[in-house]
Structure 1
């Protein structure tokens, strides 16, 4: 009976230790996932802002190309 209880206690302690390690790892992974989600959202917003700025610069560039230069005459004298 003594051996049975000792073996039972060994298995219980081992299982509790394994469960503690697994829970700690799970908490670490969830924390990392939350950080990565927040940083990816920030990067997405930054990329959208850069894309919008680039689009605006291209539109401004096209508008400036359509305006004739001040010294440039279209009709020859």
Structure 2
């Protein structure tokens, strides 16, 4: 945990470039790492827009699939 302005948050140490490398290698760990690092933020944004937990969950999952399909394998 890292303290930031009196708040605590978990810190994911996986570098973004490493996560992108996982996508290029078609390693499903890429989605897990993306969710671990950015999932709470993505869910929060989606919920603030949609105001529905199920819809925001589906939106975030669709985003992960879109990223997976957009990054070409090497």
Do the two structures share a fold, i.e. TM-score over 0.5? no
Pick the structure with more strand per residue.
2
Q: Greater helix percent: which structure?
A: 1
RCO higher in structure (CA 8 A, sep ≥6): 2
TM-score (norm 2): 0.28
TM-score, length-scaled by structure 1: 0.27
